[in-house]
Amino acid sequence: MTAAKGRFITLEGGEGAGKTTQIRRLTERLRARGLPVVTTREPGGSQGAEEIRALLVSGDPGRWGAVTEALLHTAARRDHLERTVWPALEAGQWVLCDRFFDSTMAYQGYGLGLGRERIAALQALALDGFRPDLTLILDLDVRSGLRRAAARAGGEDRYERMDIGFHERLRDGFRDIAAREPERCAVIDADADADTVQARVWDAVATRLPVPTGTAAP
């Protein structure tokens, strides 16, 4: 399966990096250029995957073992691809996804210590060789990100409540992923106000993908 018609952009990063805000703003800019855009998220993005999400993002931080957790994320991802992402791409839409397989590699592979090989084997089964056209990794100091995340409302805070060492390994993991795949990944300095980060995100997208000129962006 390849993104032959639409484009698939993923946003990644640690807790509180600002992915939700930036995916909304990027959606607005792409639509202003006449592009059909679908926004989605992981874990989630399809009915079955959303049901699995509820098991992963709430409750006690230690409720799952690392392998079980990785398997749950991978099962949710396959359902999300089959029911949401691939049909949208085949229809010629641009799909923007808040987290994708790099989060499983970073969170479970690096953060929880499963390692790259085991996570890569799971992803090979789920993805059938599919990759994003572009991955934007929002990079932010761990403590700053956790302070931002703590200010949000809502109960989906299971990962936020993991220890600081986990979050440091997580950030290092995302940086290592970007270093291994520089053609696919762009690291965005997220230690700034939302407008500045938006400009950095847009520069990466416009530089790496063929975005129509269309109407002037907001």
Q: Which residue positions form the known binding site for ATP?
A: 13-20
What's the residue count for the chain? Answer: 218
Phi, psi of 38 (to 5 degrees): -115, 130
Binding-site residue ranges: 13-20
End-to-end CA distance of the chain: 34
Query: For residue 34, what are its two tokens?
Result: 């006449």
**Nearest-angstrom CA–CA distance, 172 and 15:** 13
Identity at 119, one-letter amino acid code: I
- 96 φ, ψ to 5°? -110, 125
Contact 53, 47 (CB under 8 A): no
Alpha-carbon 102 to chain mean position: 7
For residue 189, give the H/E element and its range: strand 185-189
Residue 48 burial (10 A CB sphere; 0-12, 13-18, 19+)? middle
Cβ neighbours of residue 176 under 8 Å, at least 6 residues apart?
Answer: 110
Alpha carbon distance 50, 39 (integer Å): 14
